[in-house]
Amino acid sequence: MSCDQQRLEDYLAHILEAVERIERYTEDMDVGANEFAPTQKA
Inside any domain, residue 6: yes
d(CA 5, CA 11): 10
Q: How many domains, the chain?
A: 1
Half-sphere exposure of 12 (CA within 13 A, CB side): 6
> CB of 29 within 8 A of CB of 35?
yes
d(CA 5, CA 3): 5
> What are the tens digits of pLDDT across the range 1-42?
789 999 999 999 999 999 999 999 988 877 665 556 666 665
Inside any domain, residue 41: no
- Its pTM surpasses 0.75: no
Inside any domain, residue 14: yes
Inside any domain, residue 38: no
Inside any domain, residue 3: yes
Report the greatest alpha carbon distance in the chain. 60
Inside any domain, residue 37: no
Q: What is the dihedral of CA 27, 32, 35, 36, to 10 degrees?
A: 90
Inside any domain, residue 5: yes
